[in-house]
Structure 1
Amino acid sequence: MITITEEISRSVEDFKDKLRQYQDGKLDNLKAYSSIMGIYKEGPKPTYMVRSRIAGGVTTVRQLKGISAIAQKYGIKIRFTTRQDIQFHSVSIADLGNVLDDLLHCGLTTRGAGGDGVRNVACSPLSGVARDEAFDVTPYMEKVTNHMMQAADSLKLPRKYKIAFSNNAEDTANATVTDIGFIAKIVNGQRGFAVYGGGGLGGNARLALKLEDFIADTDALYYVQAMKQVFAREGDRSNRHKARLRYVVQRLGEEEFSKVLRKELDQLRNSGQELKLSIQPSKSDLAHTQGKSSFPWEEKYQNIVVPQKQAGFYSVYIHPRQAAIDPGELDRLLNFLSGLDNEPTIRLTLTQGFFVRDLREEAVEALLALVAGFSSLYNIGNSVACVGPTICNFGINDSQELLRDILAAFTPAAEAVKEALPRVLVSGCPNSCGQHQKGLIGFTGRRSRGPNGVIPTYAVSFNGKVGPGSARFGDVYGEIAAEKIAGFLIDLAALKIKSGHTDFEQFIETQEQEVKELVLNYSVNRAAN
């Protein structure tokens, strides 16, 4: 978790002072001070979004009770993000300062949750409990987070700087598509990381370079700091559209970029600055599975119930519909967790949901019943969409409306149809806030000319993925009108069922021609002819 320092508390008071000046007409531009505090105006509306920084997605029942209380106190909405944060929506300008104060009382801050600086450090949400992890990367995320939060220059970069720690090759923290990412591995009994860098989603997306096959775990902070310094010096501060770190890779070339980073590392190590990490194995790392935990639930629950390496314990994935949760629903969930004999842990994910971890079998049963009304068993029901143009100033298409259409189409469908497709990732514009480029199914918002004029459309892509040696962006198969996408997905599910394939990636590869024909049948160009 983030250590709330005097500097963090002072940043809230400084912002409140600027806010008063803005309200008194003495300051013309609030955004210059609000974005670095994770506060953004909501499109044409008079309200604001406030993003609370949840380091690595690590939170507690107590903190979430505080989040719920804030939402109810000010009549605002709660939304989970694709960066393991929690956002408040529809916050009035009069309440901004009070919301920041209340978050501090919960041990939370918004500082650096937006603007040009070090963003929330991502961490695998099952780190510490996953059976197949190399080791628990949570302590490394926490050390890096607090080091970056204490450095003033971490908030004065050319653009956002994203860091990720994944506990295994599944790469659930997106380390292979980010500015600098670490994937845990053990070589000859020594803990360490494979290091990736210079990647990112969005416009001019780029897979991260593999910078090191293995470094000692103690050296991770040196790499984070060195990359930050390279970015601060080499990043383009004159053109925001080309200011991300991946453009430095593009300008210098991969080989030269790697040389520049290694030179920076050497200088940093010789500077006398002590950045070596010393992290002892956590309790979760010392835990061993004593016999295999049973799985007494139907097979369909395997999407959301995960046996832990701690024998007899499970994690349950909860995905509030369209990433938004009603405070009343959240309170019922938290009151249930508070009443358990053991204290569960909670981790937000990069898929707009969260895991409740360290649950015994009987608690899993009760929790599944409790959340059945707002969280789906099926991947398609747990799809991801960016916030959309009603809030975002860059939005092209209403991604939330599309997600509503998809959920409405699949809710009454047969179980086999619901089970057929993976999670869909939707971005209303090319910026990839919905992470469409890494999705097995991704949709990117566009505008195209149809028979009756310009209409909202989406490019559809398949088989994107993350992970060492396998990361790739999805291949675009065509462009479909927004109003036809739900029907297209129903037909795609039917095609997969007919093919007999259970693995979606294999289905796309082996039935490529049939899938392309289906896309063509729904395409904007076909509709216009």
Structure 2
Amino acid sequence: MQSFRTEIENPLVQKDIIELANKIELFNNGKIDEEKFRSLRLARGVYGQRQEGVQMIRIKLPYGKVLSNQLRRIAEVSDEYSRSRLHITTRQDIQIHYVDLKRTPELWAELERDNVTLREACGNAVRNVTASETAGIDIKEPFDVSPYADAVFKFFLRNPICQEMGRKFKVSFSGTDEDTGLSYMHDLGFIAKIENGVKGFKVMLGGGLGSQPRHADEFYSFLASDKIIPLMEGVLRVFDRYGERKSRAKARLKFLIKDIGLEAFKGLVEEEQNAIEFKSVAINEATYQTSTPVSVEAPTVDIKDTEAFNLWKATNIIPQKQDGYFAIGIKVLLGDFYTDKARLLADLVEKYAAGEIRLSLRQNILIPFVKADLIPFFYQELKKLGFAEAGYNKAVDITACPGTDTCNLGIASSTGIAEELERVIKAEYPQYLSNNDLVIKISGCMNACGQHNMANIGFQGMSIRTKDKLVAPALQVLLGGGNLGNGNAYFADKVVKIPSRRGPEALRRILNDFEANANGKLFVDYYKEKGEKYFYQLLTDLSDVENLTQEDFIDWGTEEAYVKAIGVGECAGVVIDLIATLFLECDEKIEEAEEALNNKVYSGAIYETYRSMVNAAKAILLSENVKTNTQAGIISQFDELFVSTNKVELGNTFSDLIYQIKVFPPTKEFAINYLQSAKTFLQVVKQYRESQLVAKN
């Protein structure tokens, strides 16, 4: 552990890594519960993999910005601790697979040497803050959203209010009304606006994908930029307190809003404002660290295949708002590339651009700040790396999650079918190399990590059963999704389920019909015109399972017979219900509250105190076999079953005690008094628990 202490300057990071190392040791020695340990490691970016004995590491890269030195560091880590492969996700992260759990603390320590974190990349926390990959360079943007995404990332990282929520929480920023940050499918989505000279955002709330996609509501048509962090804090506090915790499937913010309604939710957020320390958080764009493009003479280049070069320029080059500069899009097949290419790319952009890349929501790479006269040189160098394929963000550029390659939840292959569909398009529909309209996405299961249910054409991994009870890999075909801009969108309809091997034929039929009959319409408009039944009739014969061949029982990308194997999902962690563990957590929260108080972080001390009391009340409820759900429910149940019946004497209601957190501003005096009240409460309930155990014995 000593090496972590000496090499990491940030004491918070040092504490995180040492804690992870200590908990791994306790877990391996059988001294910590598996579910409790899972919750902790997920919050540190360590995710269980489909293959036994290894972990997936998710690296949190806010709004997809990666500096050259950071990319080299990530490559070194992948070489040392994994298999030299990097995977770009649909949330602008990088994942490294096949990592030994015992080595994750040192891996994290290595990344932090270049300010790269794993913290809260997984688990029940605020996940990576995503944004338009063209933020700061987009010709249409009213202003650069990067400083705002960066400020939100930093403010809520390690923030006590969002460490142990019922589920994950996702935030996005869109630089223009084209809504390339996909605000409508996020818990909170911000779209840049300027009103009366004031910078701000249209705010979308409560969106999500998964098995039950929900279009976000418009929360504010305009909110000044200095109010977005206080608003988000209020939303998180309400979600933490009232959000579902028992049923993982219903624990996202979208279900809470659906249950209580938008206006009621807004009212709860407004009630929290008095307890929020910062009523206004001004975000100073001038202090945001931007990359500076280099000034270098363009090397002489001889382009031999001018036709291929011109096609690449037509599909992969994006003009910037900065005069004379362009961004270059790199199409990364399935988001996978290797460390040797990563290093060369890092060197290239450092020497000839601005020393940074952006990871996109479509699992690609964007190089900003390339001078016009350097474009031929970049083409030549990228071609050497295999990074000069035409079709960046075009129809041929299919998005897919890892699926059954590595994910516990994968039902059918997403990467294998994605490669085959790309091959079909390139070979049979070359006109789609430059088609911006058609968006194709694939997920290996209903959880929609590949965002299949917001695509024009989507495929979801499933299984299908014959009358003889044989099981084959299958695909749910979804059609008609689309981003309409400014927070508006359609989610795709589930049209038909077919054996996976018939996926290419389904795509051919859809494209052939579109080519023959759309008459220039966008796909999303053509689908709305024709309707679900039309496409069902077009594809329904492909769903027949009475004529399956031997090949239909072998999934794409494999040579073995298909076996449906679904593990335990970890996308949101697991709720811990063990009484002893809860009391242990209570003590830990009290210690963390005291530490925050000593550091004069009064809001943090108050929230850790609150969490200690909630956990203590939950422990007592569980001790008498009372099922718990939301934090608000725990508080009311404790009053009803223990305080009003005089089983526990508090001198007041538990609600009055704990809900002071909503009433008083986060001052030093309140933090001290609240913490003392929590200590007294914890002592009372522990005594009650001891009396229970004595009575049982």
Settle same-fold status: TM greater than 0.5.
yes
Deviation at 1:281, TM superposition (A): 6.0
Deviation at 1:118, TM superposition (A): 1.1
Q: Percent identity?
A: 26
Q: Distance in 1 between matches of 2:455 and 2:343?
A: 32
Deviation at 1:418, TM superposition (A): 4.5
Q: Distance in 2 between matches of 1:59 and 1:486?
A: 35
Q: Distance in 1 between matches of 2:387 and 2:369?
A: 21
Match for residue 491 of structure 2?
A: 473
The letter of the residue matching 1:359 is V
SS of equivalent residue, structure 2 residue 489? coil
Q: Distance in 2 between matches of 1:102 and 1:58?
A: 19
Is 1:178–1:198's contact at 8 Å kept on the other side of the alignment? yes
1:350 aligns with 2:358: no
Deviation at 1:20, TM superposition (A): 2.3
SS of equivalent residue, structure 2 residue 47? strand
1:247-266 equivalences in 2 (<5 Å): 247-265=255-273
Question: Which of 376-385 and 240-249 deviates more?
Answer: 376-385
Match for residue 76 of structure 2?
A: 69
Q: Distance in 2 between matches of 1:502 and 1:363?
A: 37
Structure 2 CA distance for partners of 1:9 and 1:154, relative to 1, 3 Å: farther
Deviation at 1:28, TM superposition (A): 4.8
Structure 2 CA distance for partners of 1:211 and 1:75, relative to 1, 3 Å: closer
1:337 aligns with 2:349: yes
1:139 aligns with 2:147: yes
Structure 2 CA distance for partners of 1:510 and 1:206, relative to 1, 3 Å: closer
Is 1:129–1:284's contact at 8 Å kept on the other side of the alignment? no
The letter of the residue matching 1:409 is V
Give the counterpart of 1:273 among 269, 278, 283. Answer: 278
Structure 2 CA distance for partners of 1:306 and 1:4, relative to 1, 3 Å: farther
Question: Which of 66-75 and 443-452 deviates more?
Answer: 443-452
Unmatched runs of 5 consecutive residues or more in structure 2: 1-7, 293-306, 549-697
Match for residue 398 of structure 1?
A: 413
Structure 2 CA distance for partners of 1:310 and 1:417, relative to 1, 3 Å: closer
**Which deviations, in whole Å up to 9, do the C-alpha atoms of 1:235-256 show, x marking residues without a partner?**
1122222111111112112332
The letter of the residue matching 1:365 is P
Q: Distance in 1 between matches of 2:476 and 2:319?
A: 37
1:6 aligns with 2:4: no
Is 2:151–2:283's contact at 8 Å kept on the other side of the alignment? no
Match for residue 23 of structure 1?
A: 28
Is 1:313–1:359's contact at 8 Å kept on the other side of the alignment? yes
Deviation at 1:368, TM superposition (A): 3.1
Is 1:37–1:111's contact at 8 Å kept on the other side of the alignment? yes
Match for residue 448 of structure 2?
A: 432
Match for residue 322 of structure 1?
A: 334
Q: Distance in 2 between matches of 1:505 and 1:300?
A: 26
- Larger relative helix fraction: 2
Question: Which of 181-190 and 496-505 deviates more?
Answer: 496-505
Structure 2 CA distance for partners of 1:31 and 1:493, relative to 1, 3 Å: same
Match for residue 410 of structure 1?
A: 425
SS of equivalent residue, structure 1 residue 62? helix
Is 1:443–1:458's contact at 8 Å kept on the other side of the alignment? yes
1:373-392 equivalences in 2 (<5 Å): 373-374=386-387, 376-378=389-391, 379-392=394-407
Q: TM-score, normalised by structure 2?
A: 0.69
Q: Distance in 2 between matches of 1:514 and 1:272?
A: 55
Unmatched runs of 5 consecutive residues or more in structure 1: 288-295
The letter of the residue matching 1:498 is A
Give the counterpart of 1:449 among 441, 465, 480. Answer: 465
Match for residue 57 of structure 2?
A: 50
Q: Distance in 1 between matches of 2:23 and 2:40?
A: 7
SS of equivalent residue, structure 1 residue 471? strand
SS of equivalent residue, structure 1 residue 119? coil
Match for residue 305 of structure 1?
A: 317
Deviation at 1:148, TM superposition (A): 0.4
Is 1:84–1:348's contact at 8 Å kept on the other side of the alignment? yes
Question: Which of 228-237 and 153-162 deviates more?
Answer: 153-162
Deviation at 1:37, TM superposition (A): 0.7
Match for residue 198 of structure 2?
A: 190
Is 1:417–1:497's contact at 8 Å kept on the other side of the alignment? no
* RMSD (CA atoms): 2.7
SS of equivalent residue, structure 1 residue 431? coil
Deviation at 1:411, TM superposition (A): 4.1
Q: Distance in 2 between matches of 1:131 and 1:248?
A: 38
Q: Distance in 2 between matches of 1:376 and 1:495?
A: 27
Structure 2 CA distance for partners of 1:475 and 1:375, relative to 1, 3 Å: farther
Is 2:314–2:434's contact at 8 Å kept on the other side of the alignment? no
Higher Cα Rg, which structure: 2
Give the counterpart of 2:503 among 482, 485, 507. Answer: 485
Match for residue 522 of structure 1?
A: 542
Is 1:417–1:494's contact at 8 Å kept on the other side of the alignment? no
Match for residue 133 of structure 2?
A: 125
SS of equivalent residue, structure 1 residue 461? strand
Deviation at 1:35, TM superposition (A): 0.8
Structure 2 CA distance for partners of 1:434 and 1:272, relative to 1, 3 Å: closer
Is 1:427–1:433's contact at 8 Å kept on the other side of the alignment? yes
Question: Which of 421-430 and 44-53 deviates more?
Answer: 421-430
Structure 2 CA distance for partners of 1:305 and 1:4, relative to 1, 3 Å: farther
The letter of the residue matching 1:198 is G
SS of equivalent residue, structure 1 residue 84? coil
Question: Which of 174-183 and 271-280 deviates more?
Answer: 271-280
- Aligned length in residues: 513
